A and B are shown apart, each in its own frame.
Chain A
Amino acid sequence: MSRGSNILAEFLRGLGQATFFLLTIVRALPGALLRPRLIVQQLYHVGVLSLIIIVISGSFVGMILALQGYRTLSHFGATSTLGVFVSFVVVRELAPVVTALLFAGRAGSALAAEIGLMKATDQLSGMEMMAVDPVKRVIAPRFLAALIAMPLLTSIFAVMAIGVAGGHLIGVDLLGVDQGTYWGQIHAELRPHDVVESLIKSLFFGIVIAWISVYQGYFAAPTSEGVSRATTSTVVVSSLIVVGLDFVLTAFMFR
């Protein structure tokens, strides 16, 4: 067999394995919902601990957008629409995408490494031998937590970028755009379904990242090299799929 077809076969094998794994996780979800304590614990790890990076990045993305937008808009004397510019870009694209990329780097890699190490140190096998299903006890709660955390973090990112710091800080407080105009324009132009679509995107990204990170961790080679490869793959593959999927979703949503 040529090298190319080997790689293709390997890719298809991985895809099949990952799909079966996802089905196993989905079957385990109802059971996981009965133990909210485990999900809350994981929400803390993937959600609360990702807050700092999301808040800071959101603020800076908003600030940069306001600076760039203000300069361009001022050529047309349209600086009053700065709020619309910032909020459109943030809500429709940057909040879900940048949050997803950051989330993959911060929480996805941590999930993959944790699960991979649990495997390498026989903790998953140990559970199996104690008649505890690791997919129910370890994987499903983490998967659910990542799913719940993504839309929440995306919302926080957007709020930071448009309002609290970000665009508002630069546009209104620094460059002197009228506060009423800033908010009024956003209120008039930003439609509820922009927000809904943003959240739908983030939910899709959450599923992708959660799936990839638990899969990479669970099927990592039980060595230090294997765990490091799983962590890297999680970030690389998640990021690529997130940007690709974003294109597809955007194409569907703005037909």
Chain B
Amino acid sequence: MSQHMSESESEPRRDADRRVSSDQHGETLIEVDDLKTYYEGNDFFGGQPVKAVDGVNFEIARGETLGLVGESGCGKTTLGRTLIRLEEATDGEVRYDGTEVTSLSGSDLKQWRRNAQMVFQDPQSSLNDRMTIGEIVREPLDVHDWKTPRERREHVRDLLETVGLQKEHYYRYPHQFSGGQRQRIGIARALALEPEFVVLDEPVSALDVSVQAKVLNLLEDLQDEFGLTYLFIAHDLSVVRHICDRVAVMYLGNILEIGPTEELFENPANPYTHALLSAIPEPDPTVDRDRIILNGTPPSPRDPPSGCPFSTRCPAKIRPEEYADMDDDVWEAINLFRVLLDERARADLSIRDRVREFRGKNVRFDEITEVRSELFGDLDLSADVERHVDQAQEYVEAGEFDRAREYLAEEFDSICDREAPSLCTVGDAGRSSACHRHDDEYASPDEEL
């Protein structure tokens, strides 16, 4: 029931949201519609694909900087690479200025590539050491037969000056430059074809802090000078706050929250954003803050949770009604127990273990009693809960993992486990966040945390 409501409401809201953002930052340059990028399994026989980007929607207005933040491995780099066609999208659409990009090929693709360029993360690996700086920056021009060779060389020299190097550096080799200078060369190369859209893939994370600021300022100056549109991928939140107009928070291939930077940083809506922001170090030691520490690691993108991607670690996960007033520690322990069961059930076994399993040994969970006492040992379980946990343990001991998981799911599943939340508008400035707690039915994440 609630699912229908939230979906039917969120659809028109999303459209409204787009209009708002377009009004604020000028016309839309890039529209991403339900984009998915899966990597095929390494297995010869198919297997589960890695869902690096699993259905994201957003747009970037002309001239703005959209930040993309998230933990390592959440798919932000893959998303950036898919946008400029370095990876093939599995599904969905990317529209650049109205042109559908994911289906371009051949000469159309080559022509389109002039519009979208990328600055890479590692300045050591992104420049070919055997070529001079001039050759490196000139190569895109050569590829696209830009004017005459003489004009190309002049253009390259001007570019070198634009990014804060000298014309004389044309005949130097990358070895002769520092990390910051090399990154400037990479930026010059990205700008050679005068693109409108540039993906910056953690452009300063490999640099010294002292150099980071200079490169960031250069990027901002270039944006003003050439009217560039940036997608800024980063995991350094302070850098993002400094340079971005809007920020998208990514987790396990999904965008959980997207909105104007200041609002998002001041007043995060999504529980994950809360957790992420609470990890920013606070320079003032007297300030007392609640750090939200998440349990465990993100689940495998090969097999993401069925409901909300963040449900396995969410500190504000919605509980079933009958357990609404359960002790927080017990609730956490139950969730951990379920995550453990899931992981063990899915784990790859060695051949030896497989043989043992075939012979009826309980290899996946032979230490179940210890786990139980570890998790629930000092907790005061209600009779009801104790009974469910005992029952699940029995199933596990009998080797019936799926049954144990189903049993626990039936008892403790909430909407967070069953349905993926869709983005809905929060705040006033066109911000949206994907969390079931934005439904009026439930307490908002702010209250919960």
A and B co-occur in one complex: no
Which residues of A pack against B, CB within 8 Å?
A: none
